Structure 1
Amino acid sequence: MNITMSESTSSTERELLTMNPPVKQGQRLTRENIIEFLAERFNRLPENERKLFTYGSIYLGINSAFAGLIANSLFRRILHVSQAWFSSSLPMAVLPFLTSVAIYNATVTTPMLTGDLNCATCAVVRGGLIGTVAGGLYPILLALPVNGGLAARYQTTPLPEKGNILRFWTTVSQPVLKKMSFVLILQAMFGVYISSRHYTIYEQMLKLPPPGTDLEELPE
């Protein structure tokens, strides 16, 4: 049976079906074909574009690490914790970094390189959510128990009775959330920027000419 393109065929599949040499008649278009096609196109991108696509999630992760350190510092000041600075700062930098990188790669970068993400709006929304949640809210939520445990251990702040725990931590968290609001907005904007740039690079990959064709400049 010959390969035909339906209305639901993705842009990646359309590019693959028209590339030179095309998929042979009667050969089924598989996921491996698409991944191989995108990998070949990716390797032909300019070096700066490849670096941005490869390390974009790391840039987002670095911002998340800084957000974690800021949240950690704010909670330490409110709870008057001066001990164990390194032991509290290390997880507050490492965990948000690793979480942001892993989630971004799993939901944005990898789906693009496998042809599963062909929607610019979807990519931008995912990037913004990852920047806000993994890069902003998660460090705040992580800093709360870390510094709460230190405050209890070193008795730097009188902790409430069982019945007032929720009210106490809500009161403690409010000034942190207020001061971190700018960081949350910045993280969301950076996530949107990185994901939009990645999708632009992805579209450039699809517009590249067939192998063996020399062009002085890539199409914009």
Structure 2
Amino acid sequence: MSESDHLKMNSSISPEQKIIKQNIVEFLSTKFNQLPETERKMFTYGSIYLGINGAFAGLIANSMFRRILHVSQAWFASSLPMAVLPFLTTVAAYNAAVSNSILSGDLNCATCAVVRGGLVGSLAGGLYPILLAIPVNGGLAARYKTAVLPEKGNILRFWSTISRPVFKKMSYVLIFQAIFGVYISSRHFAIYQKMLELPSTRTDVEELPQ
């Protein structure tokens, strides 16, 4: 199919879809505002809780690699990105995959929400901090010459050997993050279902997609 055909298809269905989408978002937003404050806070701040755990995972991984590579310098310089980047990445990934998808009406499957939450927790909040710690501490080890780094041909083998004990110890963190992501996403979907069961007002009926 040519590019012009794609443009014709998009232009033919786009206006109606946009109106329906906008009505759904407004309807869900109205329902969300009817929820008790505690549930609104849980939905709003759930990703932040997961992100805080991701920040702790980054600090733990950073500490392990520093110990293995005998790095004692620049503690704050390495700890700051290892806490901030996993936090921001986890929050953004969870909001995009779960929270925003629910509130936009794109995620109506409980199993899908739970799977997404678990994956975000384990990958963005667990695996990513470990992988991030490798270049951060590798650069410090090279700069301060605290460890003998390999030649170009042995880099992969060296880092796989160095990382093995870290991954082994951090496996519990990965599991915990996955479970916590499942818990948060299941709570969010339960709140979404409760939201839909709230009695409709006249405004809600007017906002329903026709």
TM tier, smaller = 0.7 to 0.9
Partner of 1:210: 200
| Distance (Å, rounded) in 2 between the aligned partners of 1:196 and 1:105 | 14
Consecutive unaligned residues of structure 1, counting only runs of 5 or more, are 1-27, 213-220
1:180 and 2:170 equivalent?
yes
**Mapped partners of 1:210, 1:119: distance in 2:** 22
Select 2:51's aligned residue among 43, 54, 61.
61
Runs of 4+ deviating beyond 2 Å: none
Q: Distance in 1 between matches of 2:182 and 2:92?
A: 17
Give the structure with the larger helix fraction. Answer: 2
AA aligned opposite 2:102: M
TM-score, scaled relative to structure 1: 0.82
Q: CA deviation at 1:211?
A: 2.4
Query: Which has the bigger relative contact order, CA under 8 A and spacing at least 6?
Result: 2
For normalisation by structure 2, the TM-score amounts to 0.86
What letter is aligned with 1:40? T
Alignment correspondent of 1:30 = 20
Matching residue's letter, 1:124: V
Distance in 1 (CA, whole Å) between partners of 2:150 and 2:68 is 15
Matched with 1:7 is none
**Count of aligned pairs:** 185
Let me know the Cα RMSD of the aligned residues.
1.2
For structure 2, list consecutive stretches of 5 or more residues without a partner in the other structure: 1-17, 203-210
Match of 1:88 among 78, 85, 93: 78
Alpha-carbon distance between aligned partners in 1 of 2:54 and 2:80, rounded to the nearest angstrom: 13
Distance in structure 1 (CA, Å) of the matches to 2:175 and 2:91? 18
Q: How does 1:2-151 map to 2 (within 5 A)?
A: 30-151=20-141
What is the CA distance between 1:203 and its match in structure 2?
Answer: 0.1
Q: Deviation at 1:29?
A: 6.7
Paired residue type of 2:42:
L
The one-letter amino acid paired with 2:173 is: V
Question: Which residue identity lines up with residue 190 of structure 1 in the other structure?
Answer: F
Q: Percent identity?
A: 76
Amino acid at match of 2:31: R
Q: Provide, for residues 37-91 of structure 1, a one-character-per-residue CA deviation record: whole Å limited to 9, x for no partner.
A: 1111100101100000000000000000000000000000000000000000000
